[in-house]
Structure 1
């Protein structure tokens, strides 16, 4: 059997200790723990946090694309020659911006948010 070197033993102890520390830092606290005090002077504090629910289109790609197509079609009806091309591009850009804003306003109006209670250990 091979002898264990001191550096190997030291590394194993350090690795095990770091696992214990990280396990302690990932402890989850719930509302039932609110006000709980620890020997180091820390305590559990809970707060209400407004979080966003998962949207089917959080980046508003649908509104941007629809607005760009509509804006491009409207811009195409304006002007003639090279002015028509510029109006098409300008209409597509403006329509994309407007479509993105409209979709964002509709998502906000639908109330895609929920309030969660989150608890964490604080040192004061």
Structure 2
């Protein structure tokens, strides 16, 4: 199954391995910083607010897919609302723990799928 870049960044369905999560989040952060800088220079600091919402959506989608790889629902993002312990637990889930072996209710295991980041 080939996955497009738009599906990777905009659709919360499916699973995502750690390496792809960090690569995608890093590239989205660089794009945010570049867009923010260009908007700030061109239109002023007020215009920079327009890049935050798309970045937050992309970050949430990537985190949901990473949670799916762990066999967890995207609702686990609500842990971010619990001060200190929530973000720490979520960081543990997203960064340090591997995905569930084999397929789970969110899809096939993305590990070893060379076509996952194929752009159509």
TM-score if structure 1 supplies the norm length?
Answer: 0.30
Structure in which a larger fraction of residues adopt helix: 2
Higher relative contact order (Cα pairs below 8 Å, separated by 6+ residues): 2
Report which of the two structures shows the higher radius of gyration computed on alpha carbons.
1
Structure in which a larger fraction of residues adopt strand: 1
